Amino acid sequence: MNLKLKALTKSLWVFHLCIGGSCNNCDIEILDLLTPRFDVERFGIVLVGSIRHADVLLVTGSLSRKAATRAIQVYKQMPKPGIVVACGTCALGRGIFKDGYNSPCALDELIPVDVYIPGCPPKPEAIIAGVAKLINKLQGKK
């Protein structure tokens, strides 16, 4: 196992990227995770302000044409090995924007996605379960 990936199991630094037209409910649920009720910091998860310091790229929203080039650019700036998490129905498969003219493709057709967290919006418990699966995946467990 890569030593950096093993180190990530103790402390995940997350950069949140909203990539386009969505209702922003996923963003609200992610902020809810930082409150004392759910407290994801107990897992060592911290939101960072720069992708250059992040281990995880957390993506929400439906990919728009303008955001596609930005998403690729942000992904390339992330230190490797990096983890990409798609959160919410819009990020997974474009949701209600699937047939829209401004939604060219799903996120995983553009950049590699490691973890999918479904829901519209996903509940904080589902996001925590996704994070737990991510940590188990990094540790080599099933």
Contact 79, 57 (CB under 8 A): no
The letter for the amino acid at 70 is R
- Token pair of 29, please? 């649920």
**Per-residue H/E/C for 44-77:** CEEECCCHHHCCEEEEECCCCHHHHHHHHHHHHH
Contact 93, 119 (CB under 8 A): no
How far apart, in whole angstroms, are the C-alpha atoms of residue 98 and residue 50? Answer: 30
At 8-44, the pLDDT tens digits run 667 788 999 988 766 788 888 888 888 888 888 888 8
Asked if residue 64 has pLDDT above 80, the reply is yes
Q: Is the pTM of this model over 0.75?
A: yes
At 90-110, the pLDDT tens digits run 888 887 777 877 888 888 899
Among 62-76, 103-117, 125-139, whose mean pLDDT is lowest?
125-139
User: Per the omega criterion (within 30 degrees of 0), is the bond before 112 cis?
Assistant: no
Q: Residue 138 — pLDDT band, cuts 50, 70, 90?
A: confident
Task: Select from 48, 56, 49 the least CA-distant residue to 138.
Answer: 56
Rounded to 5°, the CA angle 102-108-113 comes to: 140
Residues 78-89, mean pLDDT to the nearest whole number: 89
Domains and CATH numbers, the chain: 3-139 (3.40.50.12280)
How far apart, in whole angstroms, are the C-alpha atoms of residue 67 and residue 103? Answer: 10
What Rg do the C-alpha atoms of the chain give, in angstroms? 14
How far apart, in whole angstroms, are the C-alpha atoms of residue 37 and residue 101? Answer: 39
Residues 64-93, mean pLDDT to the nearest whole number: 89
User: What are the residues whose beta carbons fall under 8 Å from the beta carbon of 76, sequence distance 6 or more?
Assistant: none
User: What is the predicted pLDDT for the residue at 11?
Assistant: 79
